[in-house]
Amino acid sequence: MAKLDTRREDIKREVVRDTFEDQTIFNVFKRNPSWVNMTVVCDITGSMAKYTSQFLYWLRNNVDNGKVRRVVFFNDGDQKENKDKVVGFTKGIYIANADSFERVFETCIEAMERGQGGDIPENDIEALIESTRRFSDVDTLVLIADNFATPRDLTILGDVKVPVRVILCGNENGTNTTYLDLAKTTNGLFHTAKDDFFNLPNIELGHKIKIYNKRYKFNGAKFVRTPKEE
């Protein structure tokens, strides 16, 4: 148990710190103060540790103001072997009501301790679907996503019936366009540390957007990176 106890203490120290090099989560929530009663779906695989800590820190300071109703953590299958991960049934999804920070924190720790990483793709879409299946009052989802992990289960994206606000982490040097497609397909929104993109559902063929210093074009089916000269 010593290793797990050490990890728990490391996360606790992160949650109470007052400085973070990255500000993605803080920036998005600060720019969007009208968001309330959120169901937040959060990737807590290893590569997302610093963003998970940042979200928990933010939540600890906002647990009493009605911003978040519940939190859904996903770890892509607990300790399931990659070959056994079936689209829509990968599991490793943990849910906590957000009326108690300690409950959310303990649920997050449980999800982390039961996961073991594995391959790069994650079960984002399954977690989104499970959130609406379990709770009929969800009309919008907030997804805290890893730019470097394309969802393994995009084939079931059509089963997500509510808009998704995507907060994409780690895309300063280039955006995984899958998450632009996810936001547009669900009539949702797309957010980075610097900007909010509110008009994705209305973007038409040939329209371009700029994220950081790179441009992306909607080709009628999906977003694609455009050459610098375009």
Dihedral over alpha carbons 141, 106, 145, 22 (to 10 degrees): 120
- Domain for residue 159, yes or no? yes
DSSP string over 160-219? --S-EEEEEES-TT---HHHHHHHHHTT-EEE-SS-EE--GGG--TT-EEEETTEEEEE-
pTM over 0.85: yes
Examine the pLDDT at 106 and tell me if it is beyond 90.
yes
- Write out the H or E segment, with its range, that includes residue 43: strand 38-43
CATH code, 134: 3.40.50
| Total count of domains within the chain | 1
How far apart CA 157 and CA 12 sit, in angstroms, is: 34
- Domain for residue 227, yes or no? no
- Domain extent at residue 87: 2-198
Which residues are 68's β-sheet partners? 38
- At residue 102 the predicted structure's pLDDT band, cuts being 50, 70 and 90, is very high
Contact at 8 Å (CB) between 110 and 71? no
pLDDT (0 to 100) of residue 198: 96
